[in-house]
């Protein structure tokens, strides 16, 4: 399993995700339960608990993992959701809405007709487009997933 973790996390690293968060994300993804403690992750990846702490903090910020308290314990449990990509996109949708105000302000400051202003206008248009299309895209994804995996998990998305 460690070889798979290293090879797949290298792909994430080459795509721009930092190395340690990539390794932690793939380790969680590769575990049957999708969850591990910091000690378990550190042991599996042969790194310090401090390295795990920084990695999961980053992954939580980008909505790829959650931090939960292990039942009856004082230890944190780090979890990747089965529908991690849906969750990450859903959270991005919220982020896109928050960016609209500052982008509008930037257009006012820079002017729509300047090269910088036109770039910001296009960025705002792109985010509005994605925001409008995302619900349909996610509905199509759920139908595709259910058709190919033979299960209806739409109740999980509520």
pLDDT in tens, the chain (158 residues): 899 999 999 998 998 899 999 999 999 999 999 999 999 999 999 999 899 999 999 998 888 898 888 777 788 899 997 777 766 666 666 777 788 889 999 999 999 999 999 999 999 999 889 888 888 888 898 899 899 988 665 545 44
Q: Which two tokens stand for residue 72?
A: 């009856």
Q: Rounded to two decimals, what is the model's pTM? A: 0.72
CA distance 34 to 28: 5
Q: How far is CA 115 from the centre of its chain?
A: 32
CA angle, residues 31, 25, 44, in degrees to nearest 5: 55
Q: Which residue, chain included where needed, has tokens 């575990």?
A: 31
Q: Which two tokens stand for residue 7?
A: 């090879």
Class of the CATH-defined domain 2-79: mainly alpha
Residues 6+ apart with CB under 8 A from 75: 37, 38, 39, 69
CA distance 133 to 146: 20
Grouping H, G, I as helix, E, B as strand and the rest as coil, residue 36 is strand
CA angle, residues 100, 104, 106, in degrees to nearest 5: 115
């Amino acid at each position: 399993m460690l070889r798979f973790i290293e090879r797949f996390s290298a792909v994430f690293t080459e795509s721009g995700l930092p190395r340690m968060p990539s390794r932690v994300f793939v380790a969680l993804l590769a575990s049957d339960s999708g969850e591990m403690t910091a000690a378990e992750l550190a042991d599996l990846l042969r790194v310090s608990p401090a390295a795990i702490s920084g990695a999961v903090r980053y992954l939580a910020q980008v909505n790829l993992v959650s931090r939960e308290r292990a039942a009856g314990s004082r230890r944190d449990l780090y979890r990747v959701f089965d529908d991690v990509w849906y969750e990450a996109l859903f959270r991005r949708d919220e982020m896109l809405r928050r960016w609209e105000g500052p982008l509008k302000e930037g257009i006012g400051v820079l002017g729509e007709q300047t090269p910088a202003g036109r770039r910001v206008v296009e960025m705002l248009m792109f985010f509005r487009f994605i925001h409008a299309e995302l619900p349909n895209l996610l509905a199509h994804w759920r139908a595709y997933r259910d058709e190919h995996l033979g299960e209806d998990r739409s109740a999980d998305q509520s």
